[in-house]
Amino acid sequence: MVTIVCILYFIILTYIGFNLLYKPATRFRVPFTKHEYMLCNGPEALLIFIFWTGLIGLGPVLSLRLGVLEILCYLGIYKARSRVVWSVPLQIYVLFLIWVVIGCFYTPSPVFGGRMVLKYLYPFLVALFASTVVRDREVAFKAIIGDRITALVVWLSYFVPGMMFLVRGVFWHAAALTTHFITVSMFSLSCCYIPQQRFRNILWCIVFSLPCFIWSFRTGILGLTVACAAFFFVKYRLKSVPIIAAIGFLAVCSIFYIPRIKQKMYFNPDKVTLTDFLTGNVEESNINTSGRNLMWDVVMPFYEDNKLIGAGTGRVQKFFYTEIVGFGRGGQLHSDFLLMLCDNGLIGFFLYVLSYLGVLFHCMSIYRRTNDSYTKALSITAGAALCGVLVTLYSDNSVSYSMCTLSYPWGLYGMVLGLYKREKEQS
């Protein structure tokens, strides 16, 4: 039944996507207004639709849905009136993708390697598509504000009795949603600095900062903390050091003073205090990694035997899906950083991280140079959210659900490139 429902949703979403792309114009209400409307061309409407529906994963047909979205992005770029806006971080990411493709030639499983390529490719395509399409801030804000409303509906559905049974397999799971909410929180925080939008967006920011604490996701707390730190660093630079220290301290306190989180963090939570944590007197055997350390130890030889180039793209996935016996079979490594090291070695890992750092510094540069408050909001959101999502790769498999995690900050970065290009052309 779940598969049938997901296939039905897939057919509907695919039809709407292609229809919007080839439709001459679609009417949307202008963001932050009640009675003004705008006409969007096909690629603009498609980008808005992609942002609005990214939280619909459709588990049984996920790979097929991801492939269709990538085809739509290709077609949208081809049909758009403007050209792709390239930047140094995007060029570095191209080098990473090339290296990942090269890894498919020495992997023991090209099929799993191809699946990994598609997962790495999608956020990049969304960024290119957004940089091609977005030249008006109304389109950008319509996309991300619509996503924020969708995110609220999806989150609240978890608290409606029986709702999860009705939509099982349709939406992404809670861990992926928590990572997605990092981007939504940073967008809401950035909008606090837009005139007449402060109080409302403070509430939005608080609402989407709560799930990682309510659901006790340690990776989500880490990502949100880093994202907030990056946000204030971009905005205030060295003046932000006290704010960043306070944010870090509050995050650590949450581990020890929210009982559910502390119980999830340690096997014997009563034996660990905040002082022990701050002084480094915590026994490693007491830290609950939910079995991650066991899986990490098993795959480490893939990296240690081929530190520079790795064992080939998709090698880790092949191991978990076809080779391992017992615990971990059919699962994920829960560390995309380690997965990259095992699959593509130090070369792939450093190219990937370097592209993210490049986006952060480029967003910082645009934030200082642009005179438009809306471009500032998007640039600081993209930079901060990318940093927050990046650190989740340490202990989670965010790449596997890049449709609702990595693609959003990359898409925002593409929007920033498009808006900033138009600003420079008009100046």
Q: Is the pLDDT of residue 11 over 90?
A: yes
Predicted pLDDT of residue 196: 74
- How do residues 126-182 score in pLDDT, each as one tens digit? 999 999 999 999 999 999 999 999 999 999 888 887 777 777 788 998 999 999 999
Give the range among 309-313, 340-344, 371-375 with minimum mean pLDDT: 371-375
Predicted pLDDT of residue 278: 82
Q: Is the pLDDT of residue 285 over 80?
A: yes
- Nearest CA to 252 out of 284, 276, 283 is that of 276
Q: Is the pLDDT of residue 2 over 70?
A: yes
Indicate the pLDDT class of residue 330, thresholds 50, 70 and 90. Answer: low
Indicate the pLDDT class of residue 426, thresholds 50, 70 and 90. Answer: confident
Domain boundaries along the sequence of the chain: 2-426
What is the C-alpha to C-alpha distance for residues 21 and 35, in angstroms, rounded to an integer?
Answer: 25
Q: What is the mean pLDDT of residues 379-389?
A: 97
- How do residues 82-121 score in pLDDT, each as one tens digit? 899 999 999 999 999 999 999 999 999 899 999 999 999 9
- How do residues 38-81 score in pLDDT, each as one tens digit? 999 999 999 999 999 999 999 889 999 999 999 999 999 999 98
What is the C-alpha to C-alpha distance for residues 286 and 276, in angstroms, rounded to an integer?
Answer: 12
Within its chain, how far is the Cα of 82 from the centroid? 26
Cα separation values, 398 from 21, 220, 282, 304, 346, Å: 28, 11, 28, 23, 19
Q: Is the pLDDT of residue 232 over 80?
A: yes
Predicted pLDDT of residue 59: 85
Q: What is the mean pLDDT of residues 184-194?
A: 92
Q: Is the pLDDT of residue 195 over 80?
A: no
Sign of dihedral through CA atoms 56, 59, 61, 66? positive
Q: Half-sphere exposure of residue 284, counting CA atoms within 13 Å on the CB side?
A: 1
DSSP calls for 410-426 = HHHHHHHHHHHHHHHHH
Predicted pLDDT of residue 274: 85
| Percent of the chain clearing pLDDT 70 (strictly above) | 99
Q: Is the pLDDT of residue 36 over 80?
A: yes
Predicted pLDDT of residue 328: 66
Q: Is the pLDDT of residue 24 over 70?
A: yes
> Considering the chain, what is the average pLDDT of its residues?
92
Residue 161 or 295, more confident: 295
Predicted pLDDT of residue 376: 94
Residues in Cβ contact with 161 at an 8 Å cutoff, skipping those fewer than 6 apart: none
Q: What is the mean pLDDT of residues 2-31?
A: 94
